[in-house]
Amino acid sequence: MKKFSMKPKVVFEAGSIKYLSTLKKGKAFVITDPFMIKAGFAAKILELLVSNEIEYTLFSDIKPDPPIETVSLGVEQMIKAAPDMLIALGGGSTIDAAKAILMFTQDLSKKSGVPYKRPKFIAIPTTSGTGSEVTSFSVITVNNQKVPLVHLDMLPDVAIIDADLVKTVPPQITADTAMDVLTHAFEAYVSKKASDYSDAMAEKAVKLVFAYIVRAYKNGNDIEARERLHNASCLAGMAFNNAMLGINHSIAHAMGGVFHIPHGRANAILMPHVIAYNANLESETDTVTAARYAELAKILGLPTRSVREGVLSLICAVKILLAETNTPMTLKDLGISKDDFIQKVDALADAALADKCTDTNPRKPNKEEIVKIIMS
């Protein structure tokens, strides 16, 4: 039986952070990163809490690609804090770390018989990329390997989509994270688990990214572009939380763990090659997946006189977006040496094949095919 879950309540529009002033008295555990402290965003949140007589404990040690060691530190502090609410303020790394901290705190409390009440979980994304605020996934790093965790208990209760918090995202991170959104939407759309429900979210997210990425990249203060990209990120999150992802993400996870390439950028570099592989352009007959990509091309108003033309025009449109946002398109552009890469390609392919996202890819790859995509 197929299903589509819509659990987190989503509040959105610039300024929607004021939702926090509707919270009742209690204790909050606030997880964030050093940038949020420096930029004054954390202070804004804490002010709203204090004005509502909410006590708080602040944990602001989150690093990109959150390592398991940071999660362990967070668990220790959360157990001490015993909060009624957990607030994650930051990019995907912060929200993912908060999810892992929540899950491990719960596990540990249950195992040791300590009384535990799940805190209300509020996620406030400050990048428009991962959609983590509406998913039950978390990606943490263990020994240089990105490990995806999946558990329904990690799904936030409330997501606050406030575009005022993304105006400071620098142009290149704006582009990288928006390409992550596009990858989520594309992969959800062609996934084995796609449905009418996830398609609706994915199609809208694709349209919004194409319409607003360049505007937000060129002018961070373009609040309309910021709002629409922030919504796109959340919609794509809802799509892939239900339809799951594919090998674009499996390979990006593997590469991110080893080379520490920003997640969205790794996805972006791989995207044209993964579309070509999934659509199986070498086949003489049009595949179902090729037709799905062509549908997306049609939605975007690209040339689609044939399925093949649709797929090729979609690939071309992606490459134009990469060029317009100055996103590196090759490993050399990222400063990774070919020798280093060749040495690691075997392990990367193994990690990608073992990644959960590979299960829902529309075409089942073998190791040789994964190596070919990575090397292309």
Between 33 and 84, name the residue whose CB sits nearer to ligand NAD.
33
Where does this chain touch ligand NAD (CB under 6 A) — which range of 18-26, 49-57, 67-75, 135-143?
Answer: 135-143
Shortest CB 121 distance to ligand NAD, Å: 13
Q: Which is nearer to ligand NAD, 207 or 253 (CB)?
A: 253
- Rounded Cα gap, residues 353 and 127, in angstroms: 28
Pick 65 or 84: Cβ nearer ligand NAD: 65
Buried b or exposed e, range 215-226, using 16+ CB within 10 angstroms: bbbeebebeebb
Rg over CA atoms, the chain: 20
Binder among 126, 304, 327, 358 for ligand NAD (CB under 6 A): 126
Residue where the block lists tokens 């575009």: 163
Count of CB atoms within 10 A of residue 354's CB? Answer: 10
Q: Quickly count: other Cβ atoms within 10 Å of residue 2's Cβ.
A: 11
Shortest CB 138 distance to ligand NAD, Å: 5
- Contacts with ligand NAD, 157-176, as mask; x by CB under 6 A: --------xx-xx---x---
Subset of residues 180 to 239 that bind ligand NAD, contact rule: CB under 6 A: 180
- Scan residues 62-91 and list those touching ligand NAD (CB under 6 A): 64-65, 90-91
Cα–Cα distance between 247 and 360 in angstroms, integer?
A: 8
Residue 35 interacting with ligand NAD (CB under 6 A): yes
Q: Is 278 in the site for ligand NAD (CB under 6 A)?
A: no
Q: Which is nearer to ligand NAD, 131 or 310 (CB)?
A: 131
What b-and-e string marks burial along 185-208, b requiring 16 or more CB atoms within 10 Å of the CB?
Answer: bbbbbbbeebeebbbebbbbbbbb
Structure tokens at 111: 């195992």
Count of residues in the chain: 376
Residues that bind ligand NAD in the complex, under the rule CB under 6 A:
33, 35, 64-65, 90-94, 96, 126-127, 129-132, 135, 137-139, 146, 165-166, 168-169, 173, 177, 180, 263-264
